[in-house]
């Protein structure tokens, strides 16, 4: 099965981060993708352009570059990229993360052995510039576990997933009504359309965890995420269900001062709530 890597880059990205991300999905992989689709979301600075030009020269026809004349946001950029992918599988990749060298090998093997699974993710390890191993996030391994879990938090880490292209050929797309949290909306749409999702237990991606992430999370994003969860639960479970408790608690958590959110995230409370255990490993987002 051929793999198309789907990425989007914005002007705020650091050139060194983009360089590492591209190296991790090409030079370092035990299985090479047949295509890398890079959506340039608006004007970039000279250094970022140079990184893309370097890789385009090195990879030739393997790399497809699409340029948005203005910033359209991640949702529309991903849908634009989906329109030109040629691989049987689509691997998502963020422009500042680092894929594990055996990521594609392991996920392709899983999909070959589980033809009923349409989207597969995996565990991810958080890191930053001063610490290469902050914590590991694990996700539900089976479709049944993921469906049960989706009302609490995302059952898939977006940067880790590989999706069968046929789900998009059959009409699925990222919902452009949502500029953020578009991945969660897609998971609900996929499950409700009858597609199956799962995860492998191995670490697939090293996720760059910025120190100011809690300060950058806006109230607008929190409300947007809340609407996605509430709408998804309604479509899955109807009007009368206790599952609405989870997005309500999540919204309260998101609207807390950043210092409190950081303390809860770094401690064991959040892990206990989502996973029922304590420790440095966490589930979900």
**pLDDT of 247 over the 60 cut:** yes
**Structural domain includes residue 26:** yes
Provide the pLDDT confidence category of residue 129 given band limits of 50, 70 and 90. Answer: confident
Q: What is the CATH number of the domain that holds 13?
A: 3.90.550.10
**pLDDT of 263 over the 90 cut:** no
**Structural domain includes residue 138:** no
Provide the pLDDT confidence category of residue 279 given band limits of 50, 70 and 90. Answer: very low
Lowest average pLDDT, out of 47-56, 71-80, 134-143, 205-214, goes to 205-214
Q: Is 66 exposed, middle or buried (0-12, 13-18, 19+ CB in 10 A)?
A: middle
* Total of domains in the chain: 1
**Structural domain includes residue 41:** yes
Q: How many angstroms separate the CA atoms of 242 and 148, rounded?
A: 13
The reported pLDDT for the residue numbered 63 is 98
Q: What is the span of the domain harbouring residue 3?
A: 1-96
- Is the Cβ–Cβ distance between 174 and 77 less than 8 Å? no
**Structural domain includes residue 7:** yes
Mean pLDDT, residues 68-78: 96
Q: Where are the alpha helices (DSSP H) in the chain?
A: 15-25, 46-59, 74-82, 103-113, 143-149, 166-169, 182-192, 213-216, 219-237, 245-254, 258-266, 269-275
**Structural domain includes residue 116:** no
**Structural domain includes residue 84:** yes
**Structural domain includes residue 88:** yes
**Structural domain includes residue 2:** yes
Nearest to residue 104, comparing CAs of 161, 38, 176? 161
Mean pLDDT, residues 115-122: 98
**Is the model's pTM score more than 0.85?**
yes
Residue 202: strand, helix, or coil: strand
Q: How many angstroms separate the CA atoms of 41 and 6, rounded?
A: 13
């Amino acid at each position: 099965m051929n793999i198309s890597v789907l990425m989007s880059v914005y002007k705020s990205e650091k050139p060194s981060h983009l360089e590492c991300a591209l190296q991790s999905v090409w030079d370092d992989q035990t299985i090479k993708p047949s295509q890398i689709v890079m959506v340039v979301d608006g004007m970039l600075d000279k250094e970022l352009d140079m990184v893309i030009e370097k890789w385009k020269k090195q990879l030739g026809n393997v790399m497809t570059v699409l340029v948005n004349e203005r910033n359209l946001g991640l949702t529309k950029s991903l849908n634009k990229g989906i329109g030109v992918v040629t691989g049987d599988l689509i691997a998502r990749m963020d422009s500042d993360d680092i894929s594990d060298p055996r990521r594609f090998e392991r996920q392709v093997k899983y999909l070959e052995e589980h033809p009923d699974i349409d989207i597969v993710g995996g565990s991810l390890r958080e890191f930053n510039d001063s610490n290469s191993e902050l914590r590991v996030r694990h996700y539900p391994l089976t479709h049944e576990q993921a469906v049960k879990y989706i009302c609490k938090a995302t059952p898939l880490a977006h940067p880790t997933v590989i999706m069968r292209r046929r789900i998009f050929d059959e009409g699925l797309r990222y919902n452009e009504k949502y500029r953020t949290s578009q991945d969660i909306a897609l998971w609900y749409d996929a499950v409700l359309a009858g597609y199956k999702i799962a995860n492998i237990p191995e670490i697939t991606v090293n996720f760059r965890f910025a120190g100011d992430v809690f300060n950058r999370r806006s109230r607008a994003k929190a409300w947007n995420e809340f609407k996605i969860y509430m709408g998804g639960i309604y479509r899955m479970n109807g009007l009368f269900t206790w599952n609405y408790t989870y997005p309500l608690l999540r919204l309260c958590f998101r609207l807390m001062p950043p210092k409190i959110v950081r303390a809860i995230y770094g401690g064991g409370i959040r892990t206990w709530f989502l996973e029922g255990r304590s420790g440095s490993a966490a589930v979900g987002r």
